[in-house]
Amino acid sequence: MSSIPDKTQDGHGDGTEEKPEIVEPNQETNPADPSIAESTGTKSPNVNDQKATPDPTSDPNYVNIHQFFPTLEHCFTKTSTHFAEEQDNRMEAAIKDFVNEDSTVFSQFSEQESSTIQGGSMGEKQVAILEREGTDLSYDSTIVSANNNSADKQEPADKHTEDKNVFRTAVDEETLEAAKARSGNSIFNTEDWPGPRSPSPTFDEILVNKAVEHYERAIELKKKGEYEASIRSLNKAINLQPGDHMFYMERAENFIQLSDIQSAILNYKKACLMAPRNDNYYSRLAFLYFFLGQMLFDQRLYPESLELFSRAAEMKPENTGYHIRSISCLAALQRHGECLALVNKRLETEKNNADLLIMRARLHEMFRNTTLCYYDVKDALFIDENHDVAVEMMSNLKLTGEDNKKQAMQLNIMGKHREALQKISIAIETNPSISSYHVLRGALHRKLGDFNSAIDDFLLALDKCDHNEEDPVYSDSQRQLLLTYNDFAVECFNKGYYDESVILLNKAIKGEKREKGLYINRGDCFLKQDELNFALQDYHQALELDPSDVYIKTRISVIHAEFAYTAYQEKNYSESLAKMSLAIQYNPSVGGYYISRARSKYMIEINTKLKQSYHNRKTLKSVAPRMQPLPPPTNKLKYGANVFHRRELIVTETPELKKSTNWKTFGLGIGTQ
């Protein structure tokens, strides 16, 4: 092992040590290597040539600073200061220590290498040249080995050609194999390098992937029933990706499992805002509103539950259950008007919904409007005849109506007509389909003098029995209607409303043309109006129905007497005689008629004699008394023309029979029952 000799330069007597040059032993561009020289087509330079043109890098004392530090492209001019000089000295001392240490390592390596050189030692001439030039013997073992091999040994041409492009080494093959084995996993083995790697994921992709991992883990935890852990994983996923509505939906479902309905509603509302076209989210949110409202309804918190039911109904208006629960809340809050309005609105779109009809029927029953309640129940049974609630309600309504009818009949027998009227009215409201109830109530109205209400009830009874003449209710209603018209006409006659009385009697006669009393009463009305011809026709019509009726004949005789008196006043004595004869024919028991007829005959004879004397030119002084004017009817009768007073023309009762107490029997003449 040789060390780097210390030499002093000429002209320097301070004995400072020169910096040696460190040259890598495996330098690829070594000009002293004969193999490289032959491959490149250049000759190895001679030692003398190197001396003629000295190369600073060949000097062993030359130190290349840039192999330890990078070369600066820019030079900075610094002002020389004491601090800068100290820094430079320190740097130079550190470099010197490093170079000395490195030179020692290379010297040891050169000694080991020189011991393995083939041929033993270098040529004496080459060694002398190297000593003269001051070159270290251990500088480049490859150069010495190449020179010795070329000078002393002549190897075959084929072997020289084989190793021509191979660098020689002083390390044996076993050492090389062991080194290769140790460096088998080195990253510098290109044959073991993997193929081209895929591009690294971006930051957004990393966030999405991580959020998906948390979401998948939350699904697994939910299946295991660990809802709180699932919510924590979903919270992490939402923090990474707050814009994914699926995370909110799954978190809401976990809150539902934990019975936290409020939190579930908030999460579904967020999901609906993110996905407004997802109808499933709206359906689920509406159900949550309904579920929470039902919980509050069970706790009798009706205002809060009404608000929740209304929200659910607004989100899913086609769901009838939500509307029904809203109606129930309104009913519980006694807001019946709003409740009924909401039911009517729903029935406009769902006309064939029996449940809604039953709901409205209950509301009508609550308002004590049992008639509308009955018709709603009837419509519900028409839609679904096996509807349990409808069948039960209809049965209750019928029983209630029948009980009230029985109470009304008992009160009528006791003479308590107004109390009976109230009971039968309740029966009709409860079950308005029974026509006989209207007949009974109409009769009570007639007894109480409310003829308009009585007529309305009888007409309703006729309509409800479909005008079936075989139905006993029809005959009873028709008979009672005629009695009511007659009683109403009597009431109008007594108050002087003759026209109205005639109208009512016309209606009665239209319904029953074989009742003589109606013609008699209408004749009396015409007589009061001085319509003697119409009165005479009605009396004759009544006489045809009953030829033996004395009162009808009496009325006819009065009419004829009136005609006779009118003719006598007009000096139509022949007409007066004929009418008075008819009056005597219908009522021969009146003596005044005979006197009036005699006067008419006398006046006829006098007129006849006067006419004859006029023709015979004879003057006849008539000594016959003149007919005196009739006195007022209150003082003296009118020659038998008005035998009865005008007010006595209206027959009030028959001489043979008493007034009938049966309300179904039609009386004779106005004023009978």
Instruction: Return the domain boundaries, the chain.
Output: 1-72+84-168
- Check: CB of residue 290 under 8 Å from CB of residue 322: yes
pLDDT higher at 496 or 628: 496
Tokens of 671: 């004023």
- Check: CB of residue 509 under 8 Å from CB of residue 519: yes
- pLDDT score for 343: 86
Residue 97 has pLDDT above 80, yes or no: no
pLDDT tens figures, 313-326: 999 988 888 888 88
Which range is most confident: 328-332, 609-613, 634-638?
328-332
What is the C-alpha separation between 296 and 286, in angstroms, rounded? 15
pLDDT over 90 for what percent of the chain?
34
- pLDDT score for 379: 92
Q: Which residues contact 630 (CB under 8 A, 6 or more apart)?
A: 565, 636, 638, 639, 641
What is the C-alpha separation between 505 and 489, in angstroms, rounded? 6
> pTM for this one?
0.50
What is the C-alpha separation between 356 and 361, in angstroms, rounded? 8
Residue 626 has pLDDT above 70, yes or no: no
What is the C-alpha separation between 655 and 636, in angstroms, rounded? 26
Within 10 angstroms of residue 277's Cβ, the number of other Cβ atoms is 7
pLDDT tens figures, 124-173: 444 443 344 444 444 344 333 444 444 444 444 444 444 444 555 566 77
Mean pLDDT of the chain: 74
Closest to 249 (Cα-Cα) out of 271, 227, 269? 271
- Check: CB of residue 226 under 8 Å from CB of residue 220: no
Cα distances from 26 to residues 23, 33, 42, 62, 416, in angstroms, run 9, 11, 20, 18, 143
pLDDT higher at 206 or 166: 206
